[in-house]
Structure 1
Amino acid sequence: MKYLILGKNGQLGQAFQKALKKENKDFLALSHQECDISDLNKVLEIFNSYKPDIVLNCAAYNLVDKAEEEYWNSYKTNALGVRNLAYASSLYNAYFVTYSTDYVFDGEKENGLYTEEDIPNPINEYGKGKLTGEKWVMEENLKKSLILRTSWVYGEGKQNFIYKLMQWAENSKYLKIAYDEVSVPTSTRTIVDVSLKAVEQGLTGLYHLTNSGYASRYEWAKKILELKGIKKFIYPVSKDIFNLPAKRPKFSAMDNGIISKKLNLEIPFWDKEVELFFK
Structure 2
Amino acid sequence: MKLIITGAQGQLGREFIAYIKEKGFDFIAFSKKELDVSNFVVVYQTIKAVKPDIIINCSAYNHVDLAEKETYLAYKINTIGVYNLANCASEIKARLVHYSTDYVFDGTKQGFYTEEDDPNPLNEYAKSKLYGETLLQDFLDNYLIFRTSWVYGAGAQNFLYKLEQWAKDHEIIKIVVDEFSVPTSTRTIVEVTLKALDMGLTGLYHLTNSGYASRYEWAKEYLTLKGIKKLIYPALQADFNLPAKRPKWSVMSNEKLSKILGTDIPDWKHELKKFCEN
TM bracket, shorter-chain basis: over 0.9
Q: Secondary structure at the match of 1:278?
A: helix
**Residue in 2 aligned with 1:138?**
137
Give the TM-score normalised by structure 1: 0.99
Alignment of 1:74-89 (within 5 A): 74-89=74-89
Alignment of 1:222-241 (within 5 A): 222-241=220-239
**Residue in 2 aligned with 1:118?**
117
4+ residue runs of structure 1 moved beyond 6 angstroms?
none
**Residue in 1 aligned with 2:101?**
101
CA drift at 1:266: 0.3
Q: Partners in 1 of 2:33 and 2:220 — Cα distance?
A: 37
Q: What letter corresponds to residue 88 of structure 2 in structure 1?
A: A
CA drift at 1:239: 1.1
1:90 aligns with 2:104: no
CA drift at 1:133: 0.2
Q: What letter corresponds to residue 214 of structure 2 in structure 1?
A: S
- Alignment gaps of 5+ in structure 1: none
1:7 aligns with 2:11: no
**Residue in 1 aligned with 2:243?**
245
Q: Partners in 2 of 1:118 and 1:152 — Cα distance?
A: 19
Q: Secondary structure at the match of 2:27?
A: strand
Match among 187, 196, 208 for residue 194 of structure 2: 196
CA deviation digits over 1:36-63, x for unaligned, max 9? 1011110010011111111000000000
- Alignment gaps of 5+ in structure 2: none
Q: What letter corresponds to residue 46 of structure 2 in structure 1?
A: I
User: Root-mean-square deviation (CA), in Å?
Assistant: 0.5
CA deviation digits over 1:147-197, x for unaligned, max 9? 000000000111101000000000012111000010000000000000000
Q: Partners in 2 of 1:231 and 1:50 — Cα distance?
A: 50
**Residue in 1 aligned with 2:205?**
207
Q: In the comparison of the two structures, how many residue pairs are matched?
A: 277
Give the TM-score normalised by structure 2: 0.99
Q: What letter corresponds to residue 91 of structure 2 in structure 1?
A: L
